[in-house]
Amino acid sequence: MYRLLLFLLIPRVALAAPDPRKATVDKIIAAALAENSAHQRLAELTDGIGARLSGSPQLEKAVLWGVKSFEADHQQNVRAEKVMVPHWVRGAESGSIVAPVQVNLHLLALGGSSGTPKGGITAEVIAVRDFETLDALGAKVKGKIVLFDHAMPPFGEKGTQYGETVIYRGTGPARAAKLGAVAALVRSVTARSLRTPHTGATRFDARPIPVAAIATEDSALIGRLLEKGPVRVKLELGAHTLPDAPSANVVAEIVGREKPDEIVLIGGHLDSWDVGQGAHDDGAGVVMVMETLRVLRALDLEPRRTIRAVLFTNEENGLKGAFGYGAAHQAELSKHFAAIEADTGAFAPLGFYADANPDGLARLRAMTALLTSLGATEIEPSEHSGADLTPLLATGATLLGLKMDASTYFDYHHSEADTLDKVDPLLLQKDVATMAAMTWLLAEEEQALPAVARKIPTK
């Protein structure tokens, strides 16, 4: 009797009502993890088509593959939306230290580089670690090859610091050219290397010069040699730029049942660099987008809003696909409710980067609380959700980027090593489950998410 009275006197704590969305989310996750169609689809793209640089026949094969794959999945409103893209060609390339020792360099020309004259360029090297050093050299740069020897820190040291490192690849060569450099070299943007160079884009406002990324080991060697005296390097690059070529964004939809004019966009980019297979960057993201639609269609789920999948062209060296989408859909950009970009490889999912205000972040965290079984519960505030979402920055839409354990991503990024064998099929399935579940939650959200004012950066 005493225990009964004690029980009756203890204040009762109301149990939280179960989230009504959880059953559907669990069903989506189970369906995504039940089969390995994602890895099979990635093999079709990587082993079957290969590297897909803008302007190449392989990219256009990928566009046709995307259309046919969406049609085979019985998606709605499948189409290829035409876009003109840059057509840069690598050509034959080589480089070597010719003095004080002779050593072959492991290099890849950067997208946007010009070629060298017949017979190549041989010149003395000046190494800099930052733009302040470059600017201080001034006229001393004229006639030289400038090496940007800025080392990217290992993962976990103040983040990856990718953004603080990649600027030397993106704008360094142009700054060196304005000071009279005849060519430039850039230490590959990676913290770990087995003498493998990593390519990428560089931008010139005026006349381009020859520029190549070199393996981190070769950059370090040149640095050590320069401590003892002058170093001369010979470069022979066959890089050249052709007229813009036709390409397309591939689009497919699941039309919303209640608000078909409101759009949740999910995207990845079809193009890759012309080395490796573009498996992590961004074949995996493309597959996540396609499989998200496939899983939701297979479960006969009809979202409140339209889910639009976009496989963007030309993310790597121009963003013509992104801005082409913005131009083609100008009239409905304000109808975009939210968007997710997948462009961080295929690793263990952690959650999402989110460009949202505090109220929006709280709402998003309530959604990812349903993804505990996948370990994808993080919502990290970020102003960068993904390059292909740039046209949506000024719309007020909530923009998300899939967040991964990126500790090894830059080991493969833009290199010959970005191949199918580096992708773990189970992790890829978990990524699909994460993206599919979050896409459904956004498409089903009853209330509008708080808008965020942003500015679109210049191209």
Catalytic residues: 315
Query: DSSP characters for 13-65?
Result: PPPPPPPTTHHHHHHHHHHHHS--HHHHHHHHHHTTT----TTSHHHHHHHHH
Helix (H, G, I), strand (E, B) or coil at 329: coil
Which of 164, 163, 123, 115 has the alpha carbon at shortest distance from 147? Answer: 123
- Amino acid type, 213: A
Give 259: exposed, middle or buried? Use CB within 10 Å, 0-12, 13-18, 19+.
middle
The tokens for 60 are 């256009």
The angle, 0 to 180 degrees and rounded to 10, between the axes of the packed helices 37-46 and 425-444 is 110
DSSP assigned state of 313: S
Report the distance separating Cα 148 and Cα 157, nearest Å: 21
Residue 83's nearest CA partner among 326, 355, 339 is 326
Give me the amino acid identity at 263.
I
For residues 177 and 184, the answer to whether their CB atoms sit within 8 Å is: yes
For residue 288, give both structure tokens: 């996540």
Q: Which of 356, 248, 234 is nearest to 312 (CA)?
A: 248
The residue type found at 411 is: D
Cα(120)–Cα(210) distance, integer angstroms = 10
Bin 180: left if φ > 0, else alpha if -120 < ψ < 50, else beta.
left
Query: How many CB atoms neighbour CB 280 within 10 A?
Result: 32
Among candidate residues 383, 408, 375, the one with its CA nearest the CA of residue 160: 408
CB 204 within 8 A of CB 177: yes
Give Cβ neighbours of residue 334 (< 8 Å, ≥ 6 apart).
395, 396
Could you tell me which of 42, 128, 153, 104 has the C-alpha nearest to residue 425? 42
Helix (H) or strand (E) holding 143: none
Q: For residues 74 and 255, what is the distance between their CA atoms, to the nearest angstrom?
A: 12
CA distance 457 to 448: 26
Yes or no: say if 98 and 235 are a contact pair by the CB < 8 Å rule: no
* Pairing verdict, β 259-269 and 336-341: parallel
